[in-house]
Chain A
Amino acid sequence: MTEANPIGLSIRNGSKIYPGTQALKNVDFDLRMGAVNVLVGENGAGKSTLMKIIAGVEQLNGGTIEIDGQQVVFADKTDAAKHGVGIVFQELNLFPNLTVAENIFVGHEKTRAGIHIDSQAQRTAAAALMKRLEQNIDPDTPLGNLRIGQQQIVEIAKALAENARILILDEPTSALSATEVEVLFRVINDLKKQGVGIVYISHRLEELIRIGDYITVLRDGAITGSRSMQGVDIPWIVANMIGSASKEFPKTGDHELGKEVFRVDNVCLPSPAGGYAVDHMSLSVREGEIVGLYGLMGAGRSELLECIMAQHPNSSGQIFIGGKPVKEKSVSGRIRRGLALIPEDRKRDGLVQIMTIRENLTMSSLYDFTRGFHLSLKAEAAKAAEFVKRMAIKIASLEHPVSSLSGGNQQKVVIGKALMTRPKILLMDEPSRGIDIGAKAEIFRTMRRLAADGLGILFVTSDLEEVLALSDRVLVMANGRLTGQFPAGASAAEVISAATPNLNRVETQ
C-alpha cells in the first residue's frame, strides 16, 4: 500500500505555540497521495491547527514541512494553494449572491488582459469541474439556490480549480443529509483514483472508518496513534482520542413517563416555493419523554420547531401545553408558557457572541431578577454561577465573552439559558452539531437527566445512531410530513426508509 500511496507531504517535529498554549507538540505527520488521510481528535486536540498549517493559514514555530521531498515554507493560504494544497472549511466560504461559476473562480478569476472577466471560459471550466465531480449543477445557478450539500461540492470544485493535489476537508458532512453524504463519498473516491491526497476531519467515527485509508489520532497536541485503517475499529479510535475507556451514549433511563404535556395539532407552514414546508404536522410529547425527530436536510424539522417557537407568523395549526391551547404570538409569551428552544445554529441564533457568559445565560430570564425596574446583578450572577455548576460549563470567569468558550461549552450555555426559564418542553435542534465526542456524551447525559426530572424533550437530529440511542420514541419527517413513528429500539433500516421522501403519511394518534 505504501508504494501505491506515496507520501506527498510530511511534517517533521512540527510545533505550534499560541500565546499561553502549545497547540502542537513535535508532531510527525505523513500525508499519502491517492488516499484518504483521516484526522481525528477531540475539540482542542490540535486537528484544526495541524490542518491550518498544512493549508498555510498558520505557520509552524518549529519543525519542517516537506512536499515531495522538498522543504517548503508557506507564507499564507495563497502560497499553499500554489503548491497544490486546497482546503474546504467547515463553515463554507461562499457567496450566495454570486453564481456557481463566479464562486469557483472568486479571487482568481479567468480574465482577458487582466481586467475583463472571461465569463465564458469560467462557465466552461466550471461545467467541466461539475462533470468531474459528477454533479448536475448549472454553472449559472446562483449559489444561494443550491442545497447545502451541493454548496459543499462547489467548495470542493473551488479547490480543484486551483489544481489542488492535496485537499483538506474539515467536517464536510456535518451539514449533509445521508444521500448527500453518499454523493460526497463518491466524489472523494473519484478524487482518490485521480491521485489526490485527501485529509478528512470528522467527529463521526463510523464515517471515518468507512472512508479512511490512513488514520492519525491527536490528543492534546500530540499524535497518539497513526496507522493504516485496516483493522481499526471505533474502540481503538476512542481509546486513542480520550485515553480511557470508550464513552458510550447513555442508555435509556427506566423512569415512568408522565401524562401528555405537549401537543402539536395540524401545523402547516406554506413554503415560498409552493406547497408546504411543514405539511399538517401533528405530534405529542409526554412528561419525561425524549422524542427524536429524524429526517434528512430540508425535511421541515427545523421549520416545525420554528413554527412552535412563533417564528413564522403565516403558519397555521394549534399547539397545546398541558392540554391548554397556546395563543401567545410572541417568543417571550411562549417561553412564559413553558417552551424553550435550543437553536440549530449556535452562533447565529443561540448566543450573543460579544456579551458575557453571565449575560447570555440569563438573557431569557432577566425578569426573574427584576423588581419594578431594578435588575439585581447580585441575584443574576448567583443564578448564572449556579447554572454554570449545574451544567458543568468550563469557564475561567462569568464575565468573559461567551465567544471565548469551546463549541461544547457554548452549547451548554445555550441549554443553560433555556433551562433557566423553567420550561415544560425543551425543543432541541441538532443539539450535538459541531461539538466533540466528550461534550456530546455530556449533553446527552444532561438530556437524560432532564427527562428523568419530568421534562418533555423534542429533539431534531440527522444522526441516525443518535436518534436511535437517545429517543424513547422516534418520529420521522420527510417533505414536511410525518412519515414514520417508532418505539425505542426500532431498526435503523425502518427509520431510514421512512425518512426517504415520497412515502405516504403515517396516521398518528
Chain B
Amino acid sequence: MSSIDASGNAKTVIGGHKSRTSALLLLLHMRTFVALILVFAFFAIAAPNFLTTGNMLIISKHVALNAILAIGMTFVIIAGGIDLSVGSIVGLCAMVAGYLVLYGIDLGFIGVAYSVQFNTIEICLIVLVVGIFIGWINGMLITKLNVAPFIATLGILYVARGSALLFSDGRTFPNLAGNSEYGSDTFRIIGSGTFFGLPVSVWIMVVVALGAAYLATRTPLGRHIYAVGGNERGAALSGVNVDRTKLFVYMFSGVCAALVGLIISSQLQASHPATGETFELNAIAAAVLGGTSMSGGRGRIAGTIVGAFVIGILADGLIMMGVSSFWQTVIKGLVIIAAVVVDQVQQKLQARVVLQQNAN
C-alpha cells in the first residue's frame, strides 16, 4: 500500500505485528477455499472410491445444479434482497419442459385441431422465458408494489409450486425421450450429454459463472448491484436506477432456476412437480458460505462457486462414508454457521488493518 511505502518508519515499528496480521487475514480471506481443500483432503483419505473419476463427475453434476441457482441468488443477496422462489421455479420450469417435450402446445383452445411441436432449442427458449417472467413478477412486486423481498418471493414460492402441480394434476411426466420427427430427441443432451469429457450441465455452470463474474466486476450494471445493496438511497442519489437493477437480479435468478429445471428434467428424462423443493435453501447456503453478506453489498461469484462445491462434496462424501443423512443435515448447518462466524472475525480484522494503514 502506497502510504506504508511512503512512511517506512511506521512500517518498521509495527512491521512484525503487521505481517502476522496480514497473513492471518489472507488465510481468512481464502477461508472457503481452505475449507474446500480440507473437506476434499478428508474424504480423499476417509472415503474409498472418492477420488475416482466417476465419482468426481457425479459430484460435479450435483454441484452444478446448486451452483447455478446460487449464482443467481448471489446477485439477489448482493442487491440486498432474497429469492425464496427459485426451488419452485425449478419445479415449474421442469414441468413446462416436460409438457412441451411430450405434448407441444395444443391449439384446441382457440378452436384449431392442431398441436404445435417444438425442437430442443425452442423448448429451452420457452422454458427460459418462463423463468425470466416469474423473476420479473418477483421484481415488479418488490420494486413497484413495495412488497418486502422475503414476502414477495415466499408468495411466488407457493404460486409457482402450486402451478407446477396443476400442470400435471400432481403426476409425473415420464419418458421425456423426445421425438426425432420434431427435433426434440436431443433434449436428453442437456442433462446427460458430455462435452470434452465433462457433463453438459457442468459446462452450463462454467458459462453462467464466467458470465456472472464478468457482469459483477466489469460492467456498470454489476457495480450498480453492489451499490444498491450497500446503500440504496445513496445509489439512487448518485443516479443509479435502483428499480431496474433490482428487477434485473430477480429476472437473472429466474433464468438460473429455469436452467436448473431444464437440466433436471433432461437428466431424469421425467419431470415431477415436486422437483426443486428446498433448493432455495441450498442456494442461499452456498452464497453465504462463499462470503456473500446477507445485509447486501458484498459477495463474489467465485466465492459462491467454492461454497457450492464445499456443500456438494460434504453431502456426497458423507453419503459415501455411510454417515446417516440426519447427521449430514446437522453438519451442513454447523458448517454454514461457522462460515458466518469466521466472516465476522475477518471483517473486524480487516477494518482494523485499514485503520492502521490510515493512521500511518
Contact = CB atoms under 8 A, between A and B. Distances in A.
A367 B351 CA distance: 30
Interface string B227-248: 1001101111111110000000
Candidate in B3, B238, B240, B298 with the most chain A CB atoms within 10 angstroms? B238
B226 A359 contact: yes
Given A19-B356, A355-B227, A348 B234 contact: yes
Nearest to B224: A366
Candidate in B3, B4, B224 with the most chain A CB atoms within 10 angstroms? B3
Given A19-B352, A355-B297, A370-B220, A363 B357 contact: no
Interface in B332-360: 351-352, 354-360
B20 interface: no
Contacts of B1: 396-397
B297 to A, nearest CB: 5
Contacts of A352: 226-227, 230-231, 234-235, 297
B223 interface: yes
B53 interface: no
B343 to A, nearest CB: 13
Contact of B237 (A331, A373, A375, A401): A331
A335 B356 CA distance: 37
A264 B221 CA distance: 32
Candidate in A352, A374, A375, A401 with the most chain B CB atoms within 10 angstroms? A352
B14 interface: yes
Contact of A397 (B10, B217, B235, B357): B357
Contact of B357 (A351, A359, A377, A400): A400
B356 A20 contact: yes
A485 to B, nearest CB: 28
A366 B237 contact: no
Nearest to B5: A396
Contacts of B144: none
Contacts of B219: 370, 373-375
Contacts of B355: 18-21, 404
B358 A396 contact: yes
Candidate in A20, A373, A404 with the most chain B CB atoms within 10 angstroms? A20
Chain B interface: which size bin?
Answer: 35 or more
Contacts of A374: 218-219
B359 A20 contact: yes
A401 B354 contact: yes
Interface string A194-225: 00000000000000000000000000000000
A490 interface: no
Overall SS of chain B's interface: helix
Contacts of A404: 351, 354-355, 358
B234 A350 contact: yes
B3 A396 contact: yes
A335 B220 contact: no
B360 to A, nearest CB: 6
Contacts of B235: 352, 363
Contacts of B357: 20, 396-397, 400
Contacts of A377: 217-218
A331 B227 CA distance: 15
Contacts of B359: 18-21
A396 B359 CA distance: 9
Contact of B358 (A334, A350, A405): A405
Contacts of A334: 239
Contacts of A400: 354, 357-358
B238 A417 contact: yes
A331 B233 contact: no
B2 interface: yes
A349 interface: yes
Nearest to A311: B237
A18 B358 CA distance: 12
B239 A335 contact: yes
Nearest to A400: B354
Candidate in B4, B234, B354 with the most chain A CB atoms within 10 angstroms? B234
Contacts of A375: 218-220, 222-223
Contacts of B233: 348-349
Interface string A387-409: 00000000111001100110000
A405 B227 CA distance: 18
A375 B241 CA distance: 17
Contacts, number: 113
A97 interface: no
B2 A397 contact: yes
A382 interface: no
Contact of B241 (A332, A343, A355, A405): A332
A64 interface: no
Contacts of B360: 20, 396
A259 B309 CA distance: 64
B355 to A, nearest CB: 6
B170 to A, nearest CB: 43
B218 to A, nearest CB: 5
Contacts of A366: 220, 223-224
Contacts of B239: 330-332, 334-335, 363-364, 421
Contacts of B3: 395-397
B14 A353 contact: no
A35 B233 CA distance: 42
B215 to A, nearest CB: 8
Nearest to A334: B239
A341 interface: yes
Nearest to A350: B234
Contacts of B241: 330, 332
Nearest to B220: A366
Contacts of B234: 348-352
A343 B352 CA distance: 28
B237 A309 contact: yes
A19 to B, nearest CB: 5
Contacts of B226: 352, 355, 359
Nearest to B237: A349
A363 B354 contact: no
Nearest to A374: B218
Interface in B51-95: none
A330 B237 CA distance: 10
A46 to B, nearest CB: 13
Contacts of A20: 10, 14, 355-357, 359-360
A354 B230 contact: yes
A401 to B, nearest CB: 7
A377 B217 CA distance: 9
A349 B227 CA distance: 12
Interface string B289-313: 0000000011000000000000000
B227 A363 contact: yes
Given A349-B233, A352-B231, A375-B220, 13 more contacts: A19-B14, A19-B356, A20-B360, A330-B241, A334-B239, A349-B234, A350-B237, A352-B235, A355-B297, A364-B239, A377-B217, A397-B1, A421-B239
Interface of A: 18-21, 309, 311, 330-332, 334-335, 341, 343, 348-355, 359, 363-364, 366-367, 370, 373-375, 377, 395-397, 400-401, 404-405, 417, 421
Interface of B: 1-4, 10, 14, 217-224, 226-227, 230-231, 233-241, 297-298, 351-352, 354-360
By Cβ-Cβ distance, the 5 closest A-B pairs, closest first, are: A20-B356, A21-B359, A396-B3, A332-B239, A352-B230
20 contacts: A19-B352, A19-B356, A20-B10, A21-B356, A309-B237, A331-B236, A332-B239, A332-B240, A350-B237, A352-B226, A354-B297, A359-B227, A363-B227, A364-B238, A370-B219, A373-B219, A375-B222, A395-B3, A395-B358, A404-B355
